[in-house]
Amino acid sequence: MAITSPDNRLWWKEPIHRIELAWIIIAFLWGLVMFFTMTFWHAFGQQNLSNTTYKVMPQAFAAKAERMAEQYKVREELGIPVVHPPPGSDVYLIGRIWMWWPILELEKGQSYRFHLSAMEYSHGFSLQPVNINIQLQPGYEHVFTMTPTDSGEFGIICNEYCGFGHHTMASRLYVVEKSTARSTQE
C-alpha cells in the first residue's frame, strides 16, 4: 500500500509510455527465445540427462545393489568391492553416509542402465569430468542409460552437503577397454 494515494485512482487505464512498451516487448521476446532454446537443447543438444525416478524402499534398493556386487565383484579397493557388470546390464550405486558403494568398472562403448539412490540423507551424484549431476533423495531411485565413450578413471563426488563427513564422499568409476575388462575378470 502506498503512503499517499495516486493522483489518478484509475492508473491502469493510463497509456503505456513507448519506452516502457519497448522494454515489455523485449522482455517477452527474450523469454520466448530462452524457452525455445532450452527445449531445443534438451531434445537435440544431448546436453541434459534424461532419467526416470521411481519410489523405492531404501532397504530394497540396497539389497539389489548387494546382489549385483556379489555377482560381479572382480576385486576390492579399501574394503569396497569393485564390480564389473556385463554390458547392457543394470548397475546399482548407493550413496550412503559419506561413501559411494560399490566402485563400478564398465566397458568403453557399451551401454549400461544406472540405478542411483541415497540411503539416509540427500546426496548429489556428480560424475566428473562428464558433468552428470543428479540430486539423490532417500526413497527414490533414479534410472538413466549411459554409454561411456572414453576409457580411464572418472571421479564421483557428492555435490550436495550431507553432513560433517561430506568432504570425504568421493569415489571413482573405471571405464576400461574390452580386452582389459576380460583380463580383470579372469
Reply yes or no on whether the pLDDT at 183 is more than 50. Answer: no
Q: Position of cell 532417500?
A: 138
Reply yes or no on whether the pLDDT at 14 is more than 90. Answer: no
Please tell me the total count of domains within the chain: 2
28 and 79, same domain (yes or no): no
Peptide bond into 86 cis (omega under 30): no
Reply yes or no on whether the pLDDT at 168 is more than 70. Answer: yes
Q: Answer whether residue 34 is part of any domain.
A: yes
pLDDT value, residue 129:
87
127 and 158, same domain (yes or no): yes
Can you read off the three cell numbers belonging to residue 129? Answer: 569430468
Q: Answer whether residue 18 is part of any domain.
A: yes
81 and 119, same domain (yes or no): yes
Band of pLDDT at residue 68, cut at 50, 70 and 90: very high
3-state secondary structure of 99: strand
By residue range, what is the domain housing residue 40?
Answer: 14-44
The identity of residue 111, as a single letter, is S
Q: Which residue has the higher pLDDT, 174 or 132?
A: 174
131 and 39, same domain (yes or no): no
154 and 116, same domain (yes or no): yes
Band of pLDDT at residue 186, cut at 50, 70 and 90: very low
145 and 170, same domain (yes or no): yes
